[in-house]
């Protein structure tokens, strides 16, 4: 790869979403990788009222590794565009759309992408009806989760006698999605510069791939190669690229699917600033192509030269 002078790079991390600690971990590893190859990079633990002061005139571009609200929902992207600071990842519209799981599913379903059946719940009085409809259509258990969070924060797999507790947990984070439970495996497609990397199949002895399985447990198994035939893998990779295009995503990210026992895949969600920790999936997929962590970071950073 041709060497690029990136100037001074601010690594945005932390913030105040439910994924703050994961973002700090991702940010530290990205920062270490940049500094390890001689890039002039510094950390910015984002606070609400000091971001402009921290960036204007002090950096040439931003590596955004803020996870969750304010990091992936278009607001930080809008501020950076107002400040005329180039940044990694998806722009304002794509970030805002994909942070909202309800809109993402609706837009993609309209374009022929299969996704588990769902209802959006914006107030508590709607929950019982929504849960009853999904339970009647699809059977129990059902999934109850925040409409705009990541890292499996606030997610429950709920049986009929567990619905109130599940709703109360998810509602801490705003609107709630009630969703069909697909029994099977989670499979993920990392996207980098217009290409889908090798798929990763995720297996956990826990009830589902929750926060603990993602970041704390050593029992989670990541298979890459994923174990599918080359044809089946390409179908899912092509779906991931289509989802990325439909939702207006750019540069890099991750598209997550559920794979049932019959081999059908269902869109779960899109991540526009996915984790970059030692348990994270994009670095694993990149490694399967021979790309080490520092090279991955540089490729992501290179996209800021031509976009935003």
Q: What is the pLDDT of residues 71-111, one digit of tens each?
A: 999 999 999 999 999 999 999 999 999 999 999 999 999 99
Q: Are residues 280 and 301 in the same domain?
A: no
* Residue 258 confidence (pLDDT): 96
pLDDT digits (tens, 9 = 90+) for 30-49: 999 999 999 999 999 987 66
| Segment among 18-22, 118-122, 245-249 with least mean pLDDT | 18-22
Based on the residue annotation, tell me whether 19 is a catalytic residue of this protein: yes
- Structural domain for 261, as ranges: 98-114+182-290
Based on the residue annotation, tell me whether 269 is a catalytic residue of this protein: yes
Give whole-number Cα distances, 89 to 98, 129, 186, 233, in Å: 12, 38, 24, 25
Q: Which of 19, 73, 100, 233 is catalytic?
A: 19
Residue 3 lies in a domain: no
Based on the residue annotation, tell me whether 222 is a catalytic residue of this protein: no
96 and 73 Cβ atoms separated by less than 8 Å: yes
Based on the residue annotation, tell me whether 15 is a catalytic residue of this protein: no
Q: Are residues 52 and 176 in the same domain?
A: no
Q: Are residues 190 and 238 in the same domain?
A: yes
Based on the residue annotation, tell me whether 20 is a catalytic residue of this protein: no
Based on the residue annotation, tell me whether 275 is a catalytic residue of this protein: yes
Q: Are residues 197 and 208 in the same domain?
A: yes
Q: Which of 150, 215, 253, 280 is catalytic?
A: 215
Q: Are residues 267 and 221 in the same domain?
A: yes
| Predicted confidence (pLDDT) at residue 2 exceeds the cutoff of 60 | no
Residue 64 lies in a domain: yes
Based on the residue annotation, tell me whether 254 is a catalytic residue of this protein: yes
Domain-terminating residue out of 127, 147, 180: 180
Residue 163 lies in a domain: yes
Based on the residue annotation, tell me whether 295 is a catalytic residue of this protein: no
Buried/exposed 100-135: b ≥16 CB within 10 Å, e otherwise: bbbbbbebbeeeebebbbbbbbeeeeebeebbeebb
Q: Are residues 151 and 108 in the same domain?
A: no
In the structure, what pLDDT confidence band is assigned to residue 55 with cuts at 50, 70 and 90?
confident
Domain-terminating residue out of 180, 209, 232: 180
Q: Are residues 186 and 275 in the same domain?
A: yes
* Residue 307 confidence (pLDDT): 62
Q: Are residues 126 and 216 in the same domain?
A: no
Q: Are residues 197 and 272 in the same domain?
A: yes
Q: Which of 72, 210, 250, 269 is catalytic?
A: 269
pLDDT digits (tens, 9 = 90+) for 191-245: 999 999 999 999 876 655 555 545 555 667 899 999 999 999 999 999 999 999 9
Domain count, the chain: 3
* Residue 217 confidence (pLDDT): 58
Residue 25 lies in a domain: yes
Q: Are residues 204 and 107 in the same domain?
A: yes
CATH code for position 30: 3.40.50.20
* Residue 212 confidence (pLDDT): 53
Q: Are residues 107 and 210 in the same domain?
A: yes
Q: Which of 20, 61, 119, 254 is catalytic?
A: 254
């Amino acid at each position: 790869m041709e060497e690029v002078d990136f100037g001074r790079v601010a690594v945005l991390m932390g913030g105040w979403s439910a994924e703050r600690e994961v973002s700090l971990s991702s940010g530290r590893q990205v920062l270490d990788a940049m500094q390890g190859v001689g890039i002039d990079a510094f950390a910015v633990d984002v606070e609400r009222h000091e971001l402009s002061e921290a960036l204007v005139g002090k950096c040439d571009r931003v590596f955004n590794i803020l996870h969750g609200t304010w990091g992936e929902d278009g607001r930080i992207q809008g501020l950076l565009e107002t400040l005329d600071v180039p940044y990694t990842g998806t722009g304002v519209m794509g970030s805002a759309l994909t942070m909202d799981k309800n809109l993402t599913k609706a837009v993609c379903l309209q374009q022929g992408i299969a996704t588990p059946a769902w209802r959006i719940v914006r107030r508590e009085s709607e929950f019982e009806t929504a849960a009853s409809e999904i339970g009647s259509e699809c059977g129990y258990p059902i999934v109850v989760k925040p409409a705009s969070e990541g890292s499996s924060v606030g997610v429950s797999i709920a049986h009929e006698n567990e619905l109130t507790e599940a709703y109360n947990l998810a509602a801490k984070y705003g609107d709630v999605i009630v969703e069909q439970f697909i029994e099977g495996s989670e499979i993920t497609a990392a996207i980098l510069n217009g290409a889908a990397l090798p798929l990763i199949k995720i297996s956990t002895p826990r009830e589902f791939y929750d926060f603990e399985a993602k970041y704390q447990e050593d029992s989670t198994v990541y298979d890459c190669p994923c174990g599918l035939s080359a044809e089946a893998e390409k179908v899912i990779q092509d779906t991931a690229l289509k989802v990325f295009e439909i939702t207006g995503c750019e540069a890099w990210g991750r598209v997550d699917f559920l794979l049932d026992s019959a081999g059908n895949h269902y869109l779960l969600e899109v991540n526009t600033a996915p984790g970059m920790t030692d348990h994270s999936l994009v670095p694993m997929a990149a490694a399967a192509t021979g790309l080490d962590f520092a090279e991955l970071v540089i490729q992501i950073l290179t996209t800021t030269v031509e976009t935003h």
